[in-house]
Amino acid sequence: MIAPEYHIRDCVEADMDLIRYLFSVEGFSDLTSPEGIRVAVTPDNTMYGACRLEQGSDGSWNVRPIVVFDVVQGKGVGRALLKDALRLHPDLRLVARGEIEPFYLSCGFERCGWDAIAPEYRAECEACPDKAACGPLPFRSLPIERTFTFLGTSSGCGVPAFFCHCPACEAARKDPTKRRGCTGVALRGHGTTIIDASPDIRHQLNREGIDVIDDFFLTHAHYDHMGGLGEFEYFIRLYLMGTMPFHGSEHAIAEALKEYSYMDDCFALDVMNPYDVREVDGLAIQALPLKHAPGTFGYLITTPEGRRTFYAPDTSDLKPEVIEMLKGVDNLVMDSTFWENHGTARSHHDVRQTVHEGIDILDAGHIYLTHLAPHMCDPGVNEIDEIYAYAAQFDGRVIVAEDGMQFTL
């Protein structure tokens, strides 16, 4: 592979002499600590550029400033630093020289009024002796579309399962569009967050054109949800050249690291307790405890606009307190493992239970059926076909999830 020329990381004290020089050229000589500064550096730690994110007295987040060394102009460093900044603070303000306007317009910003800029920064511009030459303009980041993509929609063993000749598997052998990989999802905004690494994840990421993962959440430590974790190793070692944030329950993380002990230096581990919330790429992602395997979470994803999506690929009956939290959820993406035959263990939902809970108890806007397992069917019955026919009676409110299907969060 062609290793990236530079990557972006938090600024550390050792960078500060250079940062002070770099920023003073731009008129920022008030630097006291590396806090809030992100730097673009090569593998041998040569700095290409830096960006400081500072919170104004009005609570807004501001780029103050972004600087790229002249000799590396044209390598997309400024654009990469801004993308990184937007992932950390999606609602971002900045004041820039008028002549640079086209650059910011092409990076997801729009011109805004001076009233969107914190008063102390406005005053700074007013008092600046270079104001006339600089022609400063205020900018604000544009809201972006945030999407939820199904990477896979099958329970463990996929459709077709190599050993299974049920009608659904036979149909999938003949028609690739009917194939399903193990479950996982991608949340895309300024960055990409992946929930669960199924054994099929390499193909899923290639299919979706995902070449960078910024955050990883694990629902639980079953093979069909973490069997693809090893695929991340070389992405982390060769591309990130750092660690990848890995969020999950204490039990799930411990089990995953037992399987992938040789990757224990690859992750920035984040143990979440039930009901903990993490802010990731502008989304609030809350861990809700589920009855399934030890330490299983579903994740309640809330956008800055307050739209809510719940992802729970593996769950038995929902706890009363979880039901209360999910009432009125916009999108319910839930375990629909079984159709007619429940098997022996009741550690999952069946299709009718998910639809009943989604409509009658939670009043969910849309209900997506995932983690499908059509194999234990009655003779000659294609369960997937039956599930589609069943879902069709709900006028589009109940949707059979498919690999690659996407909706706006």
Binding site for Zn ion (CB under 5 A): 164, 166, 169, 222, 224, 314, 375
Distance between CA atoms of 209 and 343, rounded to whole angstroms?
36
Toward Zn ion, which CB reaches closer, 124 or 259? 259
CA distance 31 to 54: 11
Closest Cα to residue 263, out of 252, 272, 249, 253? 253
Nearer to Zn ion, 317 or 330 (CB): 317
Q: Which is nearer to Zn ion, 88 or 322 (CB)?
A: 322
Question: Sign of the CA dihedral 254, 259, 261, 266?
Answer: negative
Nearer to Zn ion, 141 or 347 (CB): 347
Residue closer to Zn ion, measured from CB, 121 or 299:
299
Residue 151 CB, shortest distance to Zn ion, in Å, is 13
Cα R_g (the chain), whole angstroms: 24
Q: What is the closest distance, in whole angstroms, from the C-beta atom of residue 197 to Zn ion in the complex?
A: 12
Residue 139's contacts (CB-CB under 8 Å, 6 or more residues apart) are: 93, 94, 95, 96, 101, 104, 109, 110, 111, 112
Burial of 114 by CB count in 10 Å (0-12 exposed, 13-18 middle, 19+ buried)?
A: middle
* Nearer Cβ to Zn ion (93/178): 178
Looking at the Cβ atoms of 141 and 354, the one nearer to Zn ion is 354
Least spacing, CB of residue 273 vs Zn ion, in Å: 20
- In the complex, least distance from residue 368 CB atom to Zn ion, rounded to whole angstroms: 15
Nearest residue (CB) to Zn ion, 141 versus 155: 155
**Closest approach of Cβ 376 to Zn ion, in Å?**
8
Residue 147: how many CB atoms within 10 A of its CB? Answer: 13
Looking at the DSSP bridge assignments, the partners of residue 53 are 63
User: Residue 40: what residue type?
Assistant: A
CB 217 within 8 A of CB 253: no
Query: Residues with Cβ < 8 Å from 385, sequence gap 6 or more?
Result: 167, 168, 171
Q: How far is the CB of 247 from Zn ion (least distance, A)?
A: 18
Q: Toward Zn ion, which CB reaches closer, 15 or 314? A: 314
Rounded to the nearest 5 percent, the helix, strand and coil shares of the chain are 30, 25, 40
Task: State how far the Cα of 48 lies from the Cα of 51, in Å rounded to an integer.
Answer: 11
Q: Which amino acid is at 248?
A: G
Minimal CA–CA distance to 152: which of 387, 402, 351, 375? 402
Minimum distance of Zn ion from residue 256's CB (angstroms): 13
CB of 309 to Zn ion, least distance (A): 19
201/181 Cα distance (integer angstroms): 8
The DSSP letter of residue 231 is G
Pick between residue 62 and residue 219 the one whose CB is nearest to Zn ion. 219
